[in-house]
Structure 1
Amino acid sequence: MEKEEAEIDRLPIHLLAYIFGLITSFTDLAQASSVCRKWTEGVKQSLAQRNSLSFAGWKMDDDSTARLVRLAYNLRELDISRSRWGCQITDIGLYQISLTNCIGNLTSISLWGMARITDRGVVKLISRANSLQHLNIGGTFITDESLFAIADSCPHLKTIVLWGCRHVAEIGLRNLVNKCRKLESINVWGTRIPVDCFIDLLNISPALQIKPSEALLNDGSAAVLPVA
């Protein structure tokens, strides 16, 4: 006797894709995609329809992250911040993501706390992210090399978080503000930038919001920025 088809298997692909789109667990999606060809196609279509992906809280590696981003070709927002389990993403992963079809359409990227990445990976990623408006690279060890790449590749940048980026310097910040004329907000808490540099940034762009309003000096003492 022929086995009766399960109710869910009678659903058309677009409805399967909708259902899979409600799943937030990437482990569950991976398992679903291995059930059968129809489910594999449903998972692919669900990813293709997503405008936002967040891997925060998930233990992801370079290959699995890049594979999912590659399928999400309508992506606009990408969050691959460090998870509580420890970030496994390296410069190799950022390079793989830089080759995906969606990279030029991304308006928001968060690399928060990704201690295993360097300027090499960030520069590769940013070089093709020409639509980027919001970038969070706080808690990383990037230097002015990344800031120069951002300044050259991201003319639409509006906000950037450099929280705790203690290896960036005045020259990188000045170049960034000079070239990214749409920049509205910059978070420099925990950096080693002297207050004089922040005053220069405000002279370049008077409307720029520098967060926090009390910038930290190299010795850790607080200095209040002048009020216009």
Structure 2
Amino acid sequence: MEKEEAEIDRLPVHLLAYIFGLITSFTDLAQASSVCGKWKEGVKQSLALRNSLCFAGWKMDDDSTARLVRLAYNLKELDISRSRWGCQITDNGLYQISLTNCIGNLTSISLWGMARITDRGVVKLISRANSLQHLNIGGTFITDESLFAIADSCPHLKTVVLWGCRHVTEIGLRNLVNKCRKLESINVWGTRITVDCFIDLLNISPALQIKPPGAL
């Protein structure tokens, strides 16, 4: 007796893609992708439809993260903040992401708390993120080298979080504010910046919101 086809297997790929787009677990998506060729294509198309990806809370490595970002070529927002299991993403992962098709369309990137990345990876990533408007790079060990790259590559930047970035200096901050003329807000909590520097930043951009408010 011939086995009856399951109802879900009768769905066209575009409907499967819609269903898979509702799944937030990357583990579940990986398992669905391994069921059959049709489901694999559905997962692939679901990723292509996504405007945002958030890996916070997931144990991701360089290759798996870059592979998903590569498929999500309509992506606008990317959050690869440190997961609760410990971030496995390094400069190599940032380099791979910098080569994806979506990188030039990203308007928001969060690298919050990624202690294993350095200026080398950040500069590679930022150099092609020319549409970036919002950047969270707090809790990392970046230096002015990254700030110079941001200033040169992100003319549309509106907000930047540098929370706890104790290796950035006044030189990097002045250059950033001077070149990113659309910058509206900057979070410098926990940095080693003097009051004179804050005053200089406001002289460059009087409407700039410096957080925390008590910084001055």
Q: State the TM bucket, normalised to the shorter chain.
A: over 0.9
In the alignment of these two chains, the number of paired residues is: 214
SS in 1 for 2:3: coil
Cα distance in structure 1, aligned partners of 2:118 and 2:27: 28
Find the residue that maps to 2:172 and give its secondary structure: helix
Hey, what's the Cα distance between the residues in 1 that align with 2:3 and 2:92? 46
> Structure 1 residue 4: deviation in Å?
1.2
* 1:113-141 CA-partner distances (Å, limit 9, x unpaired): 00000000000000000000000000000
Superimposed CA distance per residue, residues 8-67 of structure 1 (whole angstroms, 9 cap, x where no aligned partner): 000011110000000000000000000000000000000000000000000000000000
Distance in 2, matches of 1:62 and 1:198, equals 37
Distance in 2, Cα, partners of 1:72 & 1:2? 38
Aligned partners of 2:195 and 2:91: how far apart in 1? 32
d(CA) in 2 for partners of 1:19, 1:111 = 29
| Matches of 1:141 and 1:178, distance apart in 2 | 22
Q: Deviations over 1:50-105 (max 9, x none)?
A: 00000000000000000000000000000000011000000000000000000000
Secondary structure in 2 aligned to 1:168?
coil
Counterpart position of 2:18: 18
Distance in 2 of aligned mates of 1:2 and 1:102? 45
Q: Quick one: distance in 2 between partners of 1:157 and 1:93?
A: 23
2:69 and 2:8 map into 1 onto residues whose CA distance is 27
* Alignment partners' CA distance in 1, 2:88 and 2:111: 12
Partner SS state of residue 160, structure 2: strand
Q: CA deviation at 1:195?
A: 1.0
Q: Deviations over 1:173-208 (max 9, x none)?
A: 000000000000000000011111010000000000
TM-score by length of 2: 0.98
